[in-house]
């Protein structure tokens, strides 16, 4: 069922993972830079997060140096302001920078993913989704980050009885057989579907390739028929 859903969405959206910014950037950036981009992406659009990130690169150059980020809080804040919640994001970025200064950049790429997960989760401001995005896209570790769009679609079809992070994430990991490329594709294409079709307020069920298997769409049809 999950594989079928993802294949339908990939065809419908003509989705190609190698055209996705996070997929491309997770290979081009240093792990430290990728973590900063992930923090900037919290609660904002990809476009504004990327603009904030580009501001940092224009000001501080590449590769980003954690010492400069710690030593220049006002300038960093002015670069990232556009992404919103900038004070909180700066504090998270500062904590990540301290960690990288202590342990060196290479540990993010070389340390055991379970250890990395625990260390990153202990940093205030980094939640499950952010850490799973890093592990999946940078470390190619078979995990499944769940965001608000994925949670909404999972609850509307529904894919799980209990709509919580663990239930949704483990369902996808299991059903997609730990296939990292499929997990990346599923994560990205579901977000695209949530933004463009299965919107929070007015889902466009009439255009949706999942309409025949969706409980939410069925209930809406029944409700509309009753009103006629
Ligand atoms: S049919 Fe409607 S509610 Fe169901 S997944 Fe598609 S857009 Fe969302």
Ligand 1: which residue has its CA nearest to atom 4? 214
For residue range 7-52, what is the model confidence (pLDDT) as tens digits?
A: 999 999 999 999 998 999 999 999 999 999 999 999 998 899 999 9
What span, in angstroms and rounded, lies between the C-alpha atoms of 82 and 114? 33
Give the whole-number percent of the chain exceeding pLDDT 90: 92
Q: Where residue 225 falls among pLDDT bands split at 50, 70, 90?
A: confident
- Of 136-140, 160-164, 176-180, the one with minimum mean pLDDT is 160-164
Ligand 1 atom with the smallest distance to the CA of 205 is 2
pLDDT score of 227 more than 80: no
- Classify domain 18-137 at the CATH topology level: Endonuclease III; domain 1 (1.10.340)
Cβ proximity of 215 and 159 under 8 Å: no
For residue range 78-132, what is the model confidence (pLDDT) as tens digits?
A: 999 999 999 999 999 999 999 999 999 899 999 999 999 999 999 999 999 999 9
Give the domain ranges of the chain. Answer: 2-16+144-227, 18-137
CATH second-level architecture of 2-16+144-227?
Answer: Orthogonal Bundle (1.10)
- Of 35-44, 137-146, 147-156, 218-227, the one with minimum mean pLDDT is 218-227
Q: How far is the CA of 171 from the centre of ligand 1 (A)?
A: 19
Ligand 1 atom with the smallest distance to the CA of 208 is 6
pLDDT score of 75 more than 90: yes
Q: Where residue 228 falls among pLDDT bands split at 50, 70, 90?
A: low
Q: How far is the CA of 158 from the centre of ligand 1 (A)?
A: 10
Q: Which amino acids bring their CB within 6 angstroms of ligand 1?
A: 153, 156-157, 197-198, 203-205, 208, 210-211, 214, 216-217
């Amino acid at each position: 069922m999950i594989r079928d859903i993802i294949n339908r969405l990939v065809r419908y959206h003509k989705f190609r993972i190698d055209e996705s910014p996070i997929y491309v950037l997770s290979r081009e950036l240093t792990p430290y830079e990728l973590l900063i981009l992930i923090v900037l992406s919290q609660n904002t659009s990809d476009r504004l997060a990327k603009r904030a990130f580009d501001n940092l690169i224009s000001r501080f150059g590449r590769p980003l140096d954690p010492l400069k980020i710690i030593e220049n809080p006002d300038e960093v804040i002015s670069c990232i302001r556009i992404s919103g919640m900038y004070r909180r994001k700066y504090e998270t970025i500062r904590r990540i920078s301290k960690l990288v200064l202590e342990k060196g950049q290479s540990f993010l790429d070389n340390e055991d993913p379970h250890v990395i997960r625990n260390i990153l989760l202990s940093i205030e401001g980094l939640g499950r989704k952010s850490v799973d995005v890093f592990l999946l896209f940078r470390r190619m570790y078979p995990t499944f980050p769940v965001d608000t769009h994925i949670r909404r679609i999972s609850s509307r079809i529904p894919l799980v009885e209990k709509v919580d992070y663990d239930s949704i994430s483990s369902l996808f990991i299991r059903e997609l057989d730990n296939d990292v490329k499929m997990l990346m594709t599923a994560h990205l294409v579901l977000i695209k579907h949530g933004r463009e079709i299965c919107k929070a307020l007015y889902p466009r069920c009439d255009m949706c390739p999942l309409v025949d298997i969706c409980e939410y769409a069925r209930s809406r049809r029944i409700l509309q028929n009753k009103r006629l």
